[in-house]
């Protein structure tokens, strides 16, 4: 590899300079990339690929983990409202790590001071400052704190190398109280002593119970029972006379039990469109949504490629698993799915309403290793090996002083008249 050979031949000082200079170039390019992401998100460009969010599109097209992609979209949106932070980032003087932290507390009123602070602090110090200030600021606004905790709620399952799974999460206090009570209720029903029920056992039992009875005691195949009246003008209404689009009726009937009401009010026997055994076979093959770029494994329907109302069969070859979002996109959104030649394993392409084909694979990207640097130079961005280095002199961080100063900045009132004008008014 030429790059590795070149690096091993570099003097240490040259190696250090290359690392810091290229880091600044990457940050400058990263700022431009985020601004492009913000505009792409604003225009909802991800919808042309059938994605439910910009983060999902970034995960598919740019190889960004979806959780990290959501954070990048947040930062991208914030940069549009923070010109001082954006300019320092675009010039390579602030790293993405610092910018990500600053955008959690930066406003039009304090961003100048925050940028100056970040230029003189390391990324670790900036994160400490932001975390400390958020605690002080939100302590005085209970509603903002409650909203923040709600927005940050999440549960994440990470697969370990030995086949186990680690569960990480963050819940608001009121939600955690419900979860804690549910776990305790299951534990108290279990045996005592060495065989006592653990939280892990209790969580598994709760999940098993939900999967067994479902919401309102309904299971997956019985989630939707559709009773549709079709008039002579092909108008579709539900049993309570609610109008629905014909395509909505077809989507609901794709994977449900169906009762056909004939003229005169007589109803047919309820039938299931997809037999349970076939449904299991579809899931065993697809293991989640097969729409290109989607990785959904929950909230799934079985979709008929050729709808049974149009003569399609319930055979495995005519069925595919789709998440609720993409199932609706295929029916009401004007998209369609087509099996790839030789794609009996469930490989599909999607066709958007304009006839453009979306495939699972993406073409390989190529580029010059110096393209980012050349582009930054063309834009007049001056970067050298000292650009991204913090102007910190090694002195201890006085966190109390910094937080107090930020508090005063955010709560300063409008500027009053000069002292001599006040004296004149008093006279």
Domain coordinates of the chain in residue numbers?
A: 11-152+372-410, 170-213, 220-358
* Average pLDDT score over residue span 262-286: 74
137-166, pLDDT tens digit by residue?
765 555 555 566 677 888 888 888 887 889
Question: Among residues 275, 285, 355, which one has the least CA distance to residue 320?
Answer: 285
CA distances from 98 to 106, 133, 151, 229 (A): 12, 15, 21, 59
Q: What are phi and psi of 260, to 5 degrees?
A: -95, 125
- Residues contacting 292, CB < 8 A, separation 6+: 49, 50, 348, 349, 350, 358, 359, 360
- pLDDT on residue 79: 95
Higher pLDDT, 224 or 130: 130
375-417, pLDDT tens digit by residue?
777 778 877 777 777 776 666 778 888 888 888 888 776 554 4
79-113, pLDDT tens digit by residue?
999 999 999 999 999 999 999 999 999 998 899 99
- pLDDT exceeds 90 at position 299: no
Strands 300-304, 243-244: pairing kind: unpaired
Helix runs in 190-227, H state only? 199-213
- pLDDT on residue 85: 96
Average predicted confidence (pLDDT) for the chain:
78
Strands 225-230, 257-260: pairing kind: parallel
- pLDDT exceeds 50 at position 309: yes
Token pair for residue 232?
């002579």
Tell me what percent of the residues of the chain surpass a pLDDT of 70: 75
* Structural contact between residues 90 and 381, judged by C-beta atoms closer than 8 angstroms: yes
Cα angle, residue 108 at apex, residues 107 and 114 outer, rounded to 5°: 60
Token pair for residue 196?
């006592």
- pLDDT on residue 217: 38
């Amino acid at each position: 590899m030429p790059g590795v050979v070149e690096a091993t031949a570099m003097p240490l000082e040259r190696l250090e300079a290359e690392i810091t200079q290229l880091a600044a170039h990457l940050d400058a390019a990263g700022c431009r990339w985020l601004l492009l992401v913000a505009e792409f998100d604003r225009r909802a460009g991800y919808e042309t690929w059938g994605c439910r969010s910009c983060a999902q599109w970034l995960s598919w097209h740019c190889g960004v983990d979806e959780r990290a992609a959501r954070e990048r979209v947040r930062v991208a949106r914030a940069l549009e409202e923070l010109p001082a932070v954006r300019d320092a980032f675009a010039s390579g003087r602030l790293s993405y790590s610092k910018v990500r932290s600053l955008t959690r507390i930066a406003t039009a009123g304090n961003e100048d001071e925050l940028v100056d602070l970040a230029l003189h602090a390391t990324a670790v110090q900036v994160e400490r400052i932001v975390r400390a200030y958020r605690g002080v600021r939100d302590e005085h606004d209970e509603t903002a704190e409650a909203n923040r905790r709600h927005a940050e709620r999440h549960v994440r399952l990470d697969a370990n190398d030995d086949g186990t799974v680690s569960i990480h999460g963050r819940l608001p206090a009121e939600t955690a109280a419900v979860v804690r009570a549910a776990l305790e209720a299951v534990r108290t029903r279990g045996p005592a002593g060495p065989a006592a029920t653990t939280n892990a056992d209790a969580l598994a039992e709760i999940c098993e119970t939900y999967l067994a009875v479902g919401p309102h005691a309904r299971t997956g195949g019985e989630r939707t029972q559709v009773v549709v009246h079709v008039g002579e003008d092909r108008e579709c209404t539900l049993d309570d006379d609610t109008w629905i689009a014909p395509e909505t009726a077809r989507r609901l009937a794709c994977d449900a039990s169906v009762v056909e009401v004939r003229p005169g009010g007589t109803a047919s026997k309820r039938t299931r469109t997809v037999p349970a055994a076939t449904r299991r076979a579809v899931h065993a093959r697809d293991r989640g949504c097969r729409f290109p770029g989607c990785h959904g494994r929950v909230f799934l329907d079985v979709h008929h490629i050729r709808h049974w109302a149009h003569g399609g069969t319930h055979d495995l070859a005519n069925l595919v698993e789709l998440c609720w979002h993409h199932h609706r996109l295929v029916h009401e959104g004007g998209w369609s799915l087509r099996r790839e030649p030789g794609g009996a394993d469930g490989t599909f392409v999607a066709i958007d309403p304009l006839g453009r084909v979306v495939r699972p694979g993406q073409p390989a990207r190529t580029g010059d290793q110096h393209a980012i640097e050349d582009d930054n130079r063309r834009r007049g961005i001056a970067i050298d090996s000292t650009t991204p280095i913090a102007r910190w002199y090694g002195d201890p961080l006085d966190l109390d002083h910094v937080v107090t100063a930020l508090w005063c900045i955010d709560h300063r009132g409008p500027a009053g008249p000069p002292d001599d004008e006040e004296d004149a008014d008093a006279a």
